[in-house]
Amino acid sequence: HATLREIRKTPEGVKIAQRAFEDFIAHHDFRLPREVVYTGCGSSHFLSQPLAMATTRLGGRGVSLPCSELLYSREFYPIGNPELLVAISRSGETTEAVNALKSAGVPKFALTAYESTLSREADYSLIVPAHEESVVMTHSFTAFYFAYLQLLLESFGRETFDAEKTAGLTKEMIRNESYIREIVENFDFRNVIFLGSGILYPIALEAMLKMKEMAIFWSEAYPTFEVRHGFKSIADEGTLVVLLADKPFDWHDKLTEEFRGQGARVLTVGRRNTGADYFIETPEVDELLTPVLHLPVIQLLAYYKAVSLGLNPDRPRFLSKVVKW
């Protein structure tokens, strides 16, 4: 399947991202301001969230909204007075993304894989040519995140990450492919809950979307400990809980125990096992790099779930690669 090839291309995507970033700073004096609004649709919206969080974490103020909310209900959101609007779209042709960008009364920035309508409408564009055959976004998500993160670090006077090393780390994560396949083959789970906190929460949301898109499968996502407040009632012996945790602490162990007590099985992805049924270890990295490690894992999980259900993840039902109106 093309989708599997795209996921396996993540290390290459990181290198493509680095070249796109280097090319951008070589040709532009422009650096990112502190107050930025980010927007996108679908996966590109879930990508707008960690970009907004990274902006905030580095001392700026990032706000993220789906394009349609920015277009039709922006007065309900605390947008403030942004200095830049960043619109994200892999295709650069999604109608809502193009319209959201056009509607901005501030400088416009496009993050996309192609010279496209979006890039032509923007004042600046960071084109990351991590091209994908697959309908769903996989390694391009990681590549876009890494390229823009480098630009943020550079703009805010911070040291950028070592791209070769980061690519190597994603390769390490992809080595878990056969283990992920085994989990899916050994446990025919009926539903899946993804949990993440901080910058890993939008990665949990993206995981939830990947399951729906590739495997047409019931999935949910919550900020890690919020799940205890009612939502956990759906978790039973048919449930897989995927805990995305960089540095687990006591409460992660308690949460794991609680879900196991309900009969659910837990997969922990992080630096140590929390007492889970399944465990994928992540190397120690800066917190801003953690999404890059978790993304291929959750994409592989959705891919193998689709395959185990006899579906073709290359052609998800009812979906198209570009949503136009």
Binding mask 76-95 for ligand F1P (x = CB under 6 A): -------------xxx--x-
108 belongs to the binding site for ligand F1P (CB under 6 A): no
What length does the chain have?
325
Binding span for ligand F1P by CB under 6 A among 129-137, 159-167, 182-190, 278-286: 129-137
State the DSSP H helix or E strand holding residue 126, giving kind and residue range, or none if neither. Answer: strand 124-127
Nearer CB in complex with ligand F1P: 2/285: 2
Question: Bridge-partner residues for 64, per DSSP?
Answer: 38
- What does the block give as tokens for 117? 């309508």
Strands (E), the chain: 35-40, 61-66, 84-89, 108-112, 124-127, 191-196, 219-223, 239-244, 265-270, 278-281
Nearer CB in complex with ligand F1P: 94/125: 94
Instruction: With CB under 6 A as the rule, give the number of residues binding ligand F1P.
Output: 17
| Residues of span 209-238 touching ligand F1P by CB under 6 A | 213
Nearer CB in complex with ligand F1P: 103/197: 103
The DSSP secondary structure of 67-122, one letter per residue, reads HHHHHH-GGGS-----SEEEEEESSS--HHHHHHHHT-SS-EEEEESSS-HHHHHS
Nearer CB in complex with ligand F1P: 130/169: 130
Q: How far is the CB of 306 from ligand F1P (least distance, A)?
A: 14
- What does the block give as tokens for 213? 């898109």
Whether 95 contacts 324, CB under 8 Å? yes
Q: How far is the CB of 177 from ligand F1P (least distance, A)?
A: 22
Whether 92 contacts 142, CB under 8 Å? no
Residue choice 54, 70, 136, 289 for contact with ligand F1P (CB under 6 A): 136
Q: How far is the CB of 112 from ligand F1P (least distance, A)?
A: 8
- Say how far residue 324 (Cα) sits from the centre of its chain: 22
Nearer CB in complex with ligand F1P: 136/211: 136
In whole angstroms, give the CA distance from residue 92 to residue 323: 11
| Residues of span 36-65 touching ligand F1P by CB under 6 A | 41-44
Classified as helix, coil or strand, 24 is helix
Q: How far is the CB of 93 from ligand F1P (least distance, A)?
A: 7
- What does the block give as tokens for 14? 């990181």
125 belongs to the binding site for ligand F1P (CB under 6 A): no
List interacting residues with ligand F1P (CB under 6 A). 41-44, 89-91, 94, 97, 135-137, 213, 319, 321-323
